[in-house]
Structures are given as structure tokens and as C-alpha cells.
Amino acid sequence: MANSKEKTKEQRIKSENTRLKGVFKDLDENKKKVVMPLIQKAAFMHVELEELQKVIEEEGCVCEYKNGENQYGTKKSPEVDVYNTMIKNYTAIIKTLAELAPAAPKKKKSGLALLREE
């Protein structure tokens, strides 16, 4: 049972969604229409990947199977397959979001730094 201090899955998704939206708060409205669905998907994937990672850490990357009466073996766990596929998709979404992110404002140089450049 989840600890009362632990956030639910929905709360964690909402928190990640809010965090990502904060990065894009200064984006113009046209780009926001493109970015918002990507943010929602990225937030969901982020939380799912964390959960899959916990399962993989606890149970390992391989699982045993029984195929027939006397055929036993090990195979890659289904969680690893899902994780690998999802991490590729998550990376692609984050890369797209990074390309659409507003540029960070340039820091003003101090008077001393300007004098040094002369």
C-alpha cells in the first residue's frame, strides 16, 4: 500500500505537467498549441518510466518462463521491452520540446567585463 506521503500516479503526472508548462510559459500562443499535447504525453511517459524502472530494479531485466512440460528458460522481461520502447519515444518528445523551447535570455555583461573586452 502506498505511503500517505507518497504522491499518487495522477498527482505525479500533474506535477510533471506543471513543471514542463513552466518552461514554456513565455511561448507564443501558436507554438503553445503544438507544445501542450507533447507536454502532456511527456509528463505521462516520465512517470511511467519511473515506475517501470522501479519494477526492473526490483525484479531484474530477465524473467523465467515455462514453455510446455519440461522447457524452462529465461527471457527479457516484458517491462524491459516496454521501457526501451517508451524511453525512445520520450527522448524524441523531449528533443522536440527542447527545440521549441524559448531561448534563455542572455545575461548582461557587467561594466568590468565590457572594459576587459576592449
| 11-70 pLDDT per residue, tens | 999 999 999 999 898 888 888 998 999 999 999 999 999 999 999 999 999 988 888 778
Q: In whole angstroms, give the CA distance from residue 77 to residue 73.
A: 12
The one-letter amino acid at 72: Y
Residue 94 lies in a domain: yes
Residue 117 lies in a domain: no
Count the domains in the chain.
1
**Per the confidence metrics, is the pTM higher than 0.85?**
no
- Asked if residues 24 and 35 have their Cβ atoms less than 8 Å apart, the reply is yes
Residue whose C-alpha is closest to residue 101's, from 23, 22, 16: 23
> 43: domain range?
9-103
The string over 94-107, giving b where at least 16 C-beta atoms fall within 10 Å of a residue's C-beta and e elsewhere, is: eeebeeeeeeeeee
